[in-house]
């Protein structure tokens, strides 16, 4: 839900936030995972009352529409993808929010709050000239009703404690429907930005790799077979769209390999680099069958030292996911940073006891 970020920013200059006439950003109301900075503002008596949902919140029908029917499981059955680089999805963005009549109601509320503070009157005058007086907008663009939207800032409610959500604090701006947003507004929604936001919603399956021997029954110098069953790791996808402006994107994650970290240098890996490829059927490795205990597994490891003096090793199985997107104007897949998801298992390794006669 769009909020009053710009109101908070402008009014902060005149001290109104400190006076309690507007709540600060931390008071934003939660709504379907999206937040707006300070949209609990109550103007009090004598203030225009239109554009309210009954709780004093100005709102709009424009929002991102999510399709997660092909996403992975949530809760204990899955988890968020972690990018392999320092890149991260945008914590805030600009998007279409208000029709002209909605924006006028919002702007007049902001003006009312500013003009009643002696230190805010000059700012109030500049504010009205900007949006009503033709410098550059006239009459809140009411003559362009149905031709576009006023854009506002949004942020990821799951990252509301991240200071980076305040990177999107530029003044409200207008975009004609069918036109791209001005390039100077970083993270203004485009198909690519929608794809990046969808990346943050991907959920990858959580499934521990099967071990033979089992984690609690490992033996020194005895090969351990590692595998994941057929179909455990299938592609997952999240789609995002804003029908009102005709853009959409789908972000897809495909598993490409499993990396084994034995938790110690005293181990041999199979393959040597510890990377097991995904099989055509979606499985990883080969299940152990009786009589193969002395063979080197296609995916696995051999521990060379017991855990008697060190305590359990932490065997980490990390699945790498190749992530890409397609969308409006981009029919061919465009790569995003790969992601990883791992599980850790404690492994006890014992010496094999031999009786000598």
Calculate the alpha carbon distances from 10 to 14, 32, 93, 223 in Å: 7, 26, 19, 66
Specify whether 163 is located in the same domain as 281: no
Q: Is the pTM of this model over 0.95?
A: no
Specify whether 281 is located in the same domain as 256: yes
Is residue 157 domain-resident? yes
Specify whether 130 is located in the same domain as 240: no
Specify whether 219 is located in the same domain as 259: yes
Is residue 24 domain-resident? yes
Is residue 331 domain-resident? yes
Specify whether 269 is located in the same domain as 165: no
Range of the domain at 323: 203-350
Is residue 99 domain-resident? yes
Specify whether 117 is located in the same domain as 63: yes
Is residue 198 domain-resident? no
Specify whether 311 is located in the same domain as 289: yes
Is residue 333 domain-resident? yes
Specify whether 240 is located in the same domain as 176: no
Report the number of distinct structural domains present in the chain: 2
Specify whether 295 is located in the same domain as 333: yes
End residue of a domain, out of 135, 161, 189: 189
| pLDDT for position 234 | 83
List, for the chain, all residue ranges whose pLDDT scores fall below the cut of 70. 1-61, 231-232, 353-357
| pLDDT for position 231 | 64
Specify whether 266 is located in the same domain as 334: yes
End residue of a domain, out of 189, 220, 247: 189
| pLDDT for position 12 | 42
CA distance 129 to 132: 5
Is residue 263 domain-resident? yes
Specify whether 129 is located in the same domain as 50: yes
Specify whether 15 is located in the same domain as 162: yes
């Amino acid at each position: 839900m769009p909020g009053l970020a710009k109101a908070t920013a402008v009014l902060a200059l005149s001290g109104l936030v400190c006076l309690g006439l507007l709540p600060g950003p931390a008071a934003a109301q939660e709504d379907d995972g999206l937040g707006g900075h300070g949209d609990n503002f109550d103007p009090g008596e004598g203030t225009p009352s239109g554009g309210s949902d009954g709780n004093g919140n100005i709102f709009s029908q424009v929002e991102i529409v999510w399709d997660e029917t092909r996403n992975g499981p949530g809760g204990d059955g899955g988890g968020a993808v972690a990018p392999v680089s320092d890149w991260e999805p945008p914590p805030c963005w600009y998007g279409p929010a208000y029709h002209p009549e909605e924006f006028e109601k919002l702007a007049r509320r902001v003006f009312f709050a500013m003009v009643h503070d002696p230190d805010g009157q000059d700012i109030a005058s500049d504010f009205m000239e900007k949006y009503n007086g033709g410098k550059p907008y006239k009459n809140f663009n009411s003559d362009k009703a149905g031709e576009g939207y006023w854009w506002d800032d949004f942020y990821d409610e799951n990252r509301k404690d991240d200071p980076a959500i305040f990177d999107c604090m530029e003044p409200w701006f207008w975009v004609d429907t069918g036109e791209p947003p001005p390039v100077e507004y970083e993270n203004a929604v485009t198909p690519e930005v929608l794809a990046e936001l969808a990346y943050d919603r991907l959920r990858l399956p959580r499934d521990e790799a099967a071990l033979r021997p089992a984690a609690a029954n490992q033996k020194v110098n005895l090969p351990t077979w590692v595998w994941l069953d057929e179909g455990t790791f299938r592609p997952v996808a999240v789609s995002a769209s804003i029908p009102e402006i005709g853009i959409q994107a789908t972000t897809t994650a495909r598993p490409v390999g499993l990396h084994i970290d034995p938790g110690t240098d005293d181990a041999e890996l199979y393959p040597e680099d510890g990377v097991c490829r995904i099989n055509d059927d979606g499985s990883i490795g080969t299940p152990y069958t009786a009589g193969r205990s002395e063979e080197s597994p296609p995916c696995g490891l051999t521990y060379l030292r017991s855990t008697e003096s060190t305590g359990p090793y932490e065997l980490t199985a990390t699945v790498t996911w190749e992530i890409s997107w397609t969308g409006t104007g981009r029919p061919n897949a465009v790569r995003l940073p790969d992601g990883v998801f791992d599980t850790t298992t404690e492994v006890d390794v014992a010496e094999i006891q031999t009786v000598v006669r």
